[in-house]
Amino acid sequence: MNQPVDLCINNVRIMTMANTDKPLEVLANGALGIKNGKITFVGSQTDFAEEACKVIDGQGKWLLPGFIDCHTHLVYGGSRAAEFEKRLEGISYAEIAKQGGGIKSTVKATRETSEEMLFEQALKRVRRLAEEGVTTVEIKSGYGLDMDTEVKMLKVAKRLSAATPINVQSTYLGVHALPNEFLERADAYIDFVCSEVMPEIAEQDLANCVDVFCESIGFTPAQCQRVFESAKSLGLNIKAHVEQLSDLKGALLASQMGALSVDHVEYLAEQDIPTIAQTDTVAVLLPGAFYYLNETQKPPVDALRRHKVPMAVATDLNPGSSPVASLLTAMNMASVLFGLTPAEVLMGTTRYAAKALGMQNKGTIATGKDADLCLWDIEHPIELVYGINHHRPDKVWLGGKDVS
Ligand code: NIG
Ligand code: FE
């Protein structure tokens, strides 16, 4: 005899995000079975034949995969409010970075902040995201740049995972800015990252992905390539901040080397997109940074769409270019500022956000997937993209456990 499922959620409208051709396809009068944290049944209520230990009546509300914020820098010390004021006076982000502000000022503050304090501050940011139905968040290091602070940041990310009802995936972003100890010696810094920090992080299992900032105010494609090679030799995944402020062909390089994602891509050249489309790389769009930096160059959304490059959307939550602790707001921005359709945005914060993290077990509602789910009392999921700050999920399940 079959073991009963742990939980059945019935009488729901399910948007599975499982059909890439029809992202907004709805399963009316749906039912879902969950056992051991995994989805074991998804279909019509009338076809649900198993016995369930517990049954929840969804009252006709909407069941969606939990949202995934696949690009954040939410562990950091200090604040950049003063820099925000400077930018309003007309000094650019790149200029502030050249003057030693920007990322470097957060590096100084993060080095000076204790692990405990970093944890307390980051916990609040994670909670803001979780309130909106985010069940998985990616967190990057990159505000330490020395061994101890990078390790400290990644330990905080790990603790956040244990302390909150949210899955955390950690990424080592050592190649974010050049620390003062290595001024004028960028290649020596890359040596340090590749031969000392990355092996330690792999050894302590503190991250499963490595990111870089490939940019005129960051690192060259050749330097990023060395980082990718070392990361891959250690069994770590790769991803990259590319073409945010200029076109260095970082997206081509990263995608050719098997990157999970290329992020920002405002300055990505249209002619490079067919080559990227041949790979498995996701383009992660970050409208919060575009908005805050008052950018005018939009990512080539039409061409990405035409060539079927999967697009994800994330907050880029960080103290400088995107102090946006709201994925729902970033979703609205992706539509209003970049012209993504609500269907693209919803796919980009579920299915394709999972793909951008290499998490094939998440992001859709299908048998065998993790039961990370949100129940929304809304007329239609398009509403989640259309308005700002109208909705919170009624219920959230993480691995089948009610965490709301
Ligand atoms: O994704 N581009 C580099 N990194 C971050 C910005 C970090 C910062 O300004 O502190 C980004 O926009
Ligand atoms: Fe970023």
Give the whole-angstrom CA distance, residue 390 versus residue 387: 6
> Would you state the structure tokens that stand for residue 315, as one six-digit string?
């907050």
Angle at 350 between CA 372 and CA 7, to 5 degrees: 20
Ligand 1: does its nearest atom lie under 6 Å from the Cβ of 244?
yes
Contacts of residue 9, Cβ cutoff 8 Å, sequence gap at least 6: 31, 32, 34, 55, 56, 58, 63, 373, 375
In 3D space, the residue among 190, 135, 197, 200 whose CA is nearest the CA of residue 401 turns out to be 135
Total-model pTM: 0.97
| DSSP reduced 3-state for 291 | helix
Nearest ligand 1 atom to alpha carbon 264: 1
pLDDT at 148 over 60: yes
The CB-based long-range contact list for 252-259 (8 Å cut-off, 24+ gap) reads 252/276, 253/214, 253/221, 253/224, 253/225, 253/228, 254/214, 254/224, 254/228, 254/281, 255/279, 255/281, 257/225, 257/228, 257/229, 257/232, 258/232, 259/228
User: How many angstroms separate the alpha carbon of residue 300 from the centre of ligand 2?
Assistant: 18
pLDDT score, position 32: 97
User: How many angstroms separate the alpha carbon of residue 289 from the centre of ligand 2?
Assistant: 8
Give the whole-angstrom CA distance, residue 245 versus residue 163: 36
Sign, Cα dihedral of 192, 194, 195, 200: positive
Domain with CATH 2.30.40.10 in the chain: 7-66+364-402
The 10s digit of each residue's pLDDT in 266-314 is 999 999 999 999 999 999 999 999 999 999 999 999 999 999 999 999 9
68-356: CATH number:
3.20.20.140
Ligand 1: does its nearest atom lie under 6 Å from the Cβ of 316?
yes
pLDDT score, position 1: 43
Closest Cα to atom 9, ligand 1: which residue? Answer: 320
pLDDT at 183 over 80: yes
Mean pLDDT, rounded, for 343-354:
98
In which order are the strands placed within the sheet that holds 237-242?
A: 67-69, 134-140, 167-175, 209-214, 237-242, 261-264, 282-285, 311-313
pLDDT band at residue 2 under the 50/70/90 scheme: low
The 10s digit of each residue's pLDDT in 363-380 is 999 999 999 999 999 999
Mean pLDDT, rounded, for 31-53:
93
Give the whole-angstrom CA distance, residue 25 versus residue 43: 13
Q: For the packed helices 103-112 and 147-163, what is the interaxial angle rounded to 10 degrees? A: 80
User: How many angstroms separate the alpha carbon of residue 318 from the centre of ligand 1?
Assistant: 7
Mean pLDDT, rounded, for 20-39:
95
Identify the CATH assignment for 7-66+364-402 out of 2.30.40.10, 3.30.365.10, 3.30.1050.10, 3.40.50.300.
Answer: 2.30.40.10
Percent pLDDT > 70 in the chain is: 99
Closest Cα to atom 1, ligand 1: which residue? Answer: 316
Which ligand approaches the C-alpha of residue 246 most closely? 1
Q: Which amino acid is at 66?
A: G
Sign, Cα dihedral of 205, 207, 213, 217: negative
Q: Choose the residue to mutate in 86, 212, 294, 316 for probing ligand 1, maximizing ligand atoms within 8 Å of C-beta.
A: 316
Q: How far is CA 310 from the centre of its chain?
A: 14
pLDDT score, position 90: 92
Highest mean pLDDT among 2-6, 50-54, 118-122, 161-165 belongs to 118-122
Rg (CA), the chain: 21
Nearest ligand 1 atom to alpha carbon 263: 1
Give the whole-angstrom CA distance, residue 181 versus residue 210: 22
Ligand 1: does its nearest atom lie under 6 Å from the Cβ of 103?
yes
Closest Cα to atom 6, ligand 1: which residue? Answer: 321
Ligand 1: does its nearest atom lie under 6 Å from the Cβ of 319?
yes
Closest Cα to atom 3, ligand 1: which residue? Answer: 213
Contacts of residue 102, Cβ cutoff 8 Å, sequence gap at least 6: 80, 83, 93, 96, 177, 320
Domain with CATH 3.20.20.140 in the chain: 68-356
Which ligand approaches the C-alpha of residue 288 most closely? 1
In 3D space, the residue among 266, 264, 183, 252 whose CA is nearest the CA of residue 224 turns out to be 252
The 10s digit of each residue's pLDDT in 77-135 is 999 999 999 999 999 988 998 888 899 999 999 999 999 999 999 999 999 999 999 99
